[in-house]
Structure 1
Amino acid sequence: MQRPNIIFIVADDLGFADLGCYGGREAAFGPVSPVLDRLAAKGIRFTQGYANSPVCSPTRFALMTARYQYRLRGAAEEPINSKSRGSTTLGLPPAHPTLPSLLRDAGYRTALIGKWHLGFPPTFGPLRSGYEAFFGPMSGGVDYFTHCDSAGRHDLWTGDQDRQEEGYLTDLLSRRAVDYVERMASQQAPFFLSLHYTAPHWPWETREDEGLAPAVKNNLFDLAGGNIHVYRRMIHHMDEGIGWIMAALEKQGMVDNTLVVFTSDNGGERFSDNWPLVGGKMDLTEGGIRVPWIAHWPALIRAGSVSDQHCMTMDWSATMLEAAGATADPDYPLDGVSLLPVLRDTASRFHRPLHWRMNHRGQRALRDGDWKYLQVDGHDYLFNIPADERERANHAGREPERLAAMRAAWEAWNASMPPIPDDATVSLGYSSKDMPQR
């Protein structure tokens, strides 16, 4: 089979049930995600897919390396923020092989349009880690109109240069992606496009809010700002942009052999819908790590497919490498496991234990088959997820042997990873105690 073009779309802080195809409710204006719902209907939807972390940067380290993020210092929790500018340690080391660098070496053209959040120049940056082109913010959340970060510093780049450009950021990213697809249509080589939206991450601003947004410092961390209506509209704007990109692929005759993958970097935040899951961003309960995974590739994937295969972010990076015929660097063996057999045939299911850890509240988790081991604040929990997705019936007391075995399995895995540095912490610009109770 001809090697596919690949478009990897990542939303920011999107909840498990925010999309219609994951049970999300319609908004007052109608369906929130009609384009993504159609992609799922014409492709495959995973019901037991996870992010590598319940916070942003660590998941992106896993996405880029197809390895557990814990192997790199910069991925220890969420240390990368505006205070990290100038750091030579908090970022993705340019020498580390990445998904784009391995694809580039295999003959792909590569570009990142959207959020980087893996360290700041001059030490780190997309062009140092395998991307040939970059347009977007280097940091985490930025204002959708001023394009300034939480410190009020302008943060929109083209390559290594600051870029002043007017417009709603979600639309700017979508239009850049359309331009890239159209330019790549005349190229002989296949392309890999990372499209990393900041939507629906705060600040909560829709396309119609231009000129109405408060000052950036008040807006980015305004705990009284936003509502579910604005939040859903932000998702809808992103969905519309994905529709523009699919139309461009159709126009160029590239749809059939383009693998389009959509997900979120972690679970949803305060306005998200995670039903039936509990918790959200920063939590290792299901609502913090279970995310949508949609793949569309008409040349390979049968329309209307649904899979309960367990997977996480780094598995999809491994999948893209295999689909492209690219190989891992032997000095950096992958932790991710390719899902390509499942994309070909949903009956091709395999066993895949998944591990997580966080200093924040002393969290640890292991999903192994139907069962999940969870520890929070020193308390152990054991849940049968298919029977209890809301994680309410704790079997720790009923099944002490299973609990002990899963705890030992997690500890054996943890011993294979570098220890969490003592200074690692979640630093998102607010404290979890400031957030409404979920």
Structure 2
Amino acid sequence: MRLRAMLTTLCLLGGMATSLAAAESETAPNVILIMTDDQGIGDFGVMNNPVIETPNIDALARDSVSFDNFYVSPVCSPTRACLMTGRYNYRTRCIDTYLGRSMMDPEEVTVAEALSKAGYATGIFGKWHLGDCYPMRPNDQGFQESLIHRGGGLAQPSEPRENDRRYTDPILFHNGEEVKTKGYCTDVYFDAAMKFMKREHDQHRPFFAYLATNAPHGPFHDVPEDLREHYAKKDMNQIAIAKRKGKGSQAEADKLARIAAMITNVDQNVGRLMKELENLGIADNTIVIYMVDNGPNSRRYVGDLRGNKGGVNEGGIRSPLWVHWPARLEGGTAREQLAAHIDIMPTILEACGVTPSSDHRMDGRSLLPVLLDKDADWPERTIVIQSHRGDEPKRYHHFMIRDDRWKLVHPSGFGRESFAGDPKFELYDLADDPGEKRNLHKQKPQVVARLKEAYDKWFDDVSSTRPDNYAPPRIHVGSPKENPTVLTRQDWRGGTWAANSIGHWELYVEKPGSYDVTLLFDPSDQPETATVTIGDDTREATVKPGQRTCVIRDVLFPGGKAQLEAVLRGGKEARGVYQASVERGA
């Protein structure tokens, strides 16, 4: 039964004269989902980090229900696809983090879409990383309010060139429109989220706010200076795993000080957020969830675990999960049940009284029963985590599968697309060896065989969700919902982020006809020729030395599927553009 219908029935049965909107505000919980970027499981005081200060998050954790065995993917986009859909990311076409492989199929149903249909106000603030163009933007996928950056972060080829790699006063996108903001990026996201929460509370609407910071993701050139100075006075190398000497040690200490500054800035904002919930009088019936998207972005403290971002050892894929809901949950308690990012959507929906569509198959299961009762029935399960570079998954490449006790892993390397041959499996008894120090592969062949068989069934299943399961989604152009469309290296195919790389964009042209294509590129000291090719039409323009942009008008775009390429030729070699803006004429 939908939330609105349930609340209407309650109002009628109780003879209540209050409006439905007021009843929703009093009954339905608000939800705030906070996920930081590249913050590892050990980057908290409450996780015994000896240096990084997180007093507000520590207080939140102490008053929450915590999960001791919660898993995420080893890199950004896969975790976000799982989080938003309750499904393994291999079902969603989201395979990697860039080069056209971090776009999620628009047919996927997100937690924001489900909550929006049930009467919730929905907002995202920070990092989306599941597609920058229609129909894959957050506003196309259920979020009514969005303030985000493009791509995987600021200071990447997806950002407007004018942003100039800024984290402070960044150029962001509010509901699809470019806006100039004031302040450090994390502060900006929290400010916007709190403004959204107050507005929706004043209008008596329950809200879902997804706060996904790009901090402490690199680069680390622009961090809160007062906090950087604070950590510069500390011995940061005591949390570094790889010990260096001389200048290497100084450089590592400086990087860790900058990362710590970004983390403590997040913590300060969490403190502001919790105070705002108290001020609004909604702290008790607001669910606050805190987690991270993958392991730490350097080899640093992860407690008794080992590994970091990109790896499938525990340090790369374990996240804290703290769920704070004073109205219903007993804070300061822990759960040992095996859980993962795919469980967040079903948990939120059940907590909010929202029944998902019957044709939306989720891989995750709701954690609400064990949140309410640590002894609730929880059938044994297996969790699979796999992620690596490339256009589609390879069987046994860089994966782990685990049950309540055993973990089978093949850490063949994120970024090692050349993996081939027989996998060298490792088996660990996580009940006795959470640090994965004793490989029992040879001693326990039956366990290996059982988990390998379970992995094979999983891989076959997630790979057959669609007939063309791993084909990347296409960017739509010519739609009235986005015109112009800005194409960046984040989503192009066949190229890289290297300066002279050449790629192309896979498009779906909704309306054939004449389009203007504006090219942005770094200036050259020699004349060049800019060429745009789509279908059978190729157009050229002369580019003068020092020129940074040019417009090629009246390019004929065919309808349907098409491939667009833009190349600069002249000087030493051909090169691709920085970005291309495609605009359909009237």
**TM-score greater than 0.5 by the shorter chain:** yes
Q: Is 1:404 aligned to residue 449 of structure 2?
A: yes
Aligned to 1:354: 383
Aligned to 2:401: 366
* Amino acid in structure 2 at the alignment position of 1:372: K
Tell me the secondary structure at the aligned position of residue 57 of structure 1: helix
Matches within 5 A, 1:321-336: 321-336=349-364
For residues 228-278 of structure 1, the C-alpha deviation after alignment (integer angstroms, 9 at most, x for no partner) is 222112111001111111111100100000000000111111154212111
Describe the shift of the 1:364–1:34 C-alpha distance in structure 2 as closer, same or farther (beyond 3 A).
same
Describe the shift of the 1:286–1:151 C-alpha distance in structure 2 as closer, same or farther (beyond 3 A).
farther
* Amino acid in structure 1 at the alignment position of 2:266: M
Describe the shift of the 1:151–1:54 C-alpha distance in structure 2 as closer, same or farther (beyond 3 A).
farther
Distance 1:162 1:371 in 2: 48
Matches within 5 A, 1:190-269: 190-204=206-220, 205-208=222-225, 226-269=254-297
Describe the shift of the 1:39–1:9 C-alpha distance in structure 2 as closer, same or farther (beyond 3 A).
same
Equivalent residue in structure 2 for 1:97, among 109, 125, 146: 109
- Give the deviation of 1:149 after TM superposition: 7.9
Aligned to 2:324: 296
Aligned to 2:570: none
Describe the shift of the 1:245–1:13 C-alpha distance in structure 2 as closer, same or farther (beyond 3 A).
same
- Give the deviation of 1:227 after TM superposition: 1.9
Describe the shift of the 1:362–1:345 C-alpha distance in structure 2 as closer, same or farther (beyond 3 A).
same
* Amino acid in structure 2 at the alignment position of 1:41: R
Aligned to 1:219: none
Distance 1:428 1:234 in 2: 28
Cα contact 2:171–2:181 (8 A) shared by 1: no
Aligned to 2:58: 37
Matches within 5 A, 1:5-404: 5-27=30-52, 32-51=53-72, 53-73=73-93, 75-78=94-97, 80=98, 84=100, 91-143=103-155, 156-204=172-220, 205-208=222-225, 226-270=254-298, 272-348=300-376, 350=378, 351-360=380-389, 362-377=397-412, 378-404=423-449
* Amino acid in structure 1 at the alignment position of 2:289: V
Distance 2:41 2:338 in 1: 15
Distance 1:159 1:102 in 2: 19
Cα contact 2:41–2:319 (8 A) shared by 1: yes
* Amino acid in structure 2 at the alignment position of 1:127: N
Describe the shift of the 1:99–1:149 C-alpha distance in structure 2 as closer, same or farther (beyond 3 A).
farther
Distance 2:256 2:164 in 1: 26
Greater strand share, 1 or 2?
2
Higher RCO (CA 8 Å, separation ≥ 6 residues): 1
Cα contact 1:300–1:343 (8 A) shared by 2: no
- Give the deviation of 1:35 after TM superposition: 0.9
Describe the shift of the 1:405–1:321 C-alpha distance in structure 2 as closer, same or farther (beyond 3 A).
same
* TM-score scaled by length of structure 1: 0.85
For residues 53-85 of structure 1, the C-alpha deviation after alignment (integer angstroms, 9 at most, x for no partner) is 111001111111111111022x1132x3xx54x
- Give the deviation of 1:2 after TM superposition: 2.5
* Amino acid in structure 2 at the alignment position of 1:288: G
Distance 1:412 1:175 in 2: 45
Distance 2:184 2:295 in 1: 24
* TM-score scaled by length of structure 2: 0.65
Matches within 5 A, 1:413-428: 413-418=458-463, 421=470
Distance 2:205 2:63 in 1: 26
Distance 1:96 1:421 in 2: 14
Cα contact 2:329–2:371 (8 A) shared by 1: yes
Distance 1:149 1:284 in 2: 35
Q: Structure 1 residues 108-117 or 377-386, which shifts more?
A: 377-386
Unaligned runs of 5+ in 2: 1-25, 230-247, 390-395, 413-422, 473-490, 499-586
Cα contact 1:382–1:403 (8 A) shared by 2: yes
Describe the shift of the 1:188–1:282 C-alpha distance in structure 2 as closer, same or farther (beyond 3 A).
same
Bigger radius of gyration, 1 or 2?
Answer: 2
Describe the shift of the 1:261–1:18 C-alpha distance in structure 2 as closer, same or farther (beyond 3 A).
same
Cα contact 1:118–1:138 (8 A) shared by 2: no
Q: Structure 1 residues 119-128 or 190-199, which shifts more?
A: 119-128
Describe the shift of the 1:190–1:168 C-alpha distance in structure 2 as closer, same or farther (beyond 3 A).
same
* Amino acid in structure 1 at the alignment position of 2:430: I
Distance 1:412 1:95 in 2: 24
Aligned to 1:435: none
Distance 1:240 1:341 in 2: 32
Distance 1:362 1:286 in 2: 17
* Amino acid in structure 2 at the alignment position of 1:256: D
Q: Structure 1 residues 225-234 or 335-344, which shifts more?
A: 225-234
Distance 2:313 2:496 in 1: 19
Describe the shift of the 1:254–1:406 C-alpha distance in structure 2 as closer, same or farther (beyond 3 A).
same
Tell me the secondary structure at the aligned position of residue 139 of structure 1: coil
Cα contact 1:149–1:155 (8 A) shared by 2: no
Tell me the secondary structure at the aligned position of residue 92 of structure 1: coil
Distance 1:120 1:399 in 2: 46
Give the root-mean-square deviation of aligned CA atoms: 2.9
Describe the shift of the 1:169–1:386 C-alpha distance in structure 2 as closer, same or farther (beyond 3 A).
same
